[in-house]
A and B are shown apart, each in its own frame.
Chain A
């Protein structure tokens, strides 16, 4: 009996569905490798699967990239819990970057205050989609897209006109990027606590742990507070939640604001590592969009997002090692494949629940597995 209830657990089916998606995605990636360059395919898939753990330095790189990915993933996941699709992660991430660098490099504040500024900046940028939806009925997806670009141009404009933030003010020869933080204000660099020596990599710092802490906080907000309950209620059925006395419009605004804060913090922790410099160009940062697959793979579960961010960062590090035999974008194809399959989660969950039940219910004459949406 106990065994049966374990097998009927929808979370288990969800997890198995995710693993099936990952496995099939990797299999598809392998087929791609074979099609495009058969002689390197075997070595290629091994690289994707093992490179991230091949050395301490590579593992440090995995953690380094996973931290901002986790933040944008949490941002998308949090909004999705309220039934909103936050495609504005890029803009919020950018404004977060902007605030972190302005406060860290120009106003010489320490790293934690700069990160706080990044959060506030992202939250500010997140207000607009929710607010315009609530006040003017503007589709939030469109507002978010427009504000991505508005944010990009404003950030570039302001950086270009703030000489004290640019690299050339601190002795570098280029003016198209922001300053090396180590040179401009060492106190704004996120502390490494000696881990850089332990891992033998300048990429290593506490940002991954900060991100994990935030994921835990988000989990508590969503699952253990009244506020989180109200947000989820709005996500499941907005009309019912209004009937139950929840201020749905307000919740939409607050939810997007928090999502913005999370993405903004992502920008802050990436650019305050001391290893990255923001380059002024006309392209939206991919990190904002990459939060979408991270959230989807984890089914928007904050704890799951820790692992999906790690996984995506892991195979991205593996993908970089594929060059020059293949373009590293093969990894993006694998990720796309995994998302596509997890979009079919209803189908897969049903299928897997069915399989699990079949094993159990040979004595019980129950035939149909309930097709449950676990999202």
Chain B
């Protein structure tokens, strides 16, 4: 039972970054911009979030107010991510550049910048930024004494609980409301389907796409920090391809927030299963095969592929995604 709690807890931990980044991708694509730069945005967000946590730890302020520091780091990561995504917006929206190429440029820039920057800040050759351990939310934060033998609920809730999880839930709810229940959401979606039609009724397509991409940068930056926290205790200038996986999750979730929520957790679940495979009693162990963990590491990707094969016939990508908006066109 405890292993189940462990798996479910970790699924949420790894599902959170996928959810946030995929939602970010969704906002950009629903407004008509393909945001291939999510990987880079995640790295930049994680870089500044982790640097802030590191400095908060050095001054001692962080340990005194751990969750306040964490919240600031999250907001900072989001803010920097949004700022970084402006580079994509300017190129792809105003200057009508190829969105794939400018996205690739940002992806190339981010990890290199992260290495150079953390090298410059921390001194020669030190490119790993350690994340302080006080950011984890424990039972003590709720005034519960930690038990010697944590049961199902305690393991599930508190083994790996960070502020990013509740923040992600709030952002997820907000995303659903913004996309479907507000004027902004309606206009945003119109710009992704038929920008000329939207423009004809007075919607500023450039502005809408700017907003879409900036939201995606904000969510991507937070997602980067959330991933780094989930993946370990340090930031090493990489998010291990999660930005691209999030794009897969977004397509898997058919560009719809609720479906993306399930898609993210589905993928995260298989990902976690693969890393816990040796501890799960009923899974085959492949004892004759060396390094058999690679078999399980394949599974999330194979399963996603299979699901996509069966669901993509009905896939509904935004019609105008990837096409620069040209006022003169009809």
Chain A interface residues toward B at CB < 8 A: 32, 36-37, 85, 87, 132, 136-139, 141-143, 145-150, 153-154, 156-157, 160-161, 280, 282, 284, 292-293, 296, 324, 326-327, 329-333, 335-337, 339-340, 342-347, 375
Contact = CB atoms under 8 A, between A and B. Distances in A.
10 contacts: A137-B315, A139-B317, A142-B247, A148-B241, A153-B297, A153-B301, A326-B116, A329-B113, A342-B101, A343-B101
Contact of A347 (B97, B111, B305): B97
A83 B10 CA distance: 39
Question: Residue among B102, B104, B241, B301 with the most chain A CB within 10 A?
Answer: B104
Closest 6 CB pairs of A and B: A332-B112, A336-B109, A340-B105, A336-B108, A343-B101, A157-B294
Interface residues of B, number: 50
Contact of A339 (B104, B115, B292): B104
Given A145-B241, A160-B290, A330-B112, A150 B91 contact: no
Given A137-B313, A336-B112, A296 B101 contact: yes
Given A36-B120, A137-B313, A150-B301, A343 B291 contact: no
Question: Which of A32, A324, A332, A337 gathers the greatest number of chain B CB atoms within 10 Å?
Answer: A332
Q: Which of the listed residues B87, B111, B252, B305 has the most CB atoms from chain A within 10 Å of its own CB?
A: B305
Given A149-B301, A150-B302, A344-B97, A333 B102 contact: no
B258 interface: no
Given A139-B312, A340-B102, A340-B106, A161 B112 contact: no
Contacts of A296: 101, 104
Contacts of B294: 153-154, 156-157, 160
Nearest to A128: B305
A174 B96 CA distance: 52
Given A139-B317, A153-B297, A340-B91, 17 more contacts: A36-B116, A37-B120, A132-B308, A136-B309, A137-B313, A139-B312, A139-B315, A142-B308, A147-B301, A150-B302, A153-B301, A157-B289, A296-B101, A329-B111, A330-B112, A343-B91, A346-B95
Interface string B273-308: 000000000000000011110110110011011001
Interface string B154-196: 0000000000000000000000000000000000000000000
A139 B96 CA distance: 23
A219 B302 CA distance: 35
B120 A161 contact: no
Nearest to A141: B247
B127 interface: yes
Nearest to A341: B105
Q: Is the interface of B mostly helix, strand, loop or mixed?
A: helix
Nearest to A36: B120
A292 B115 CA distance: 21
A216 B251 CA distance: 37
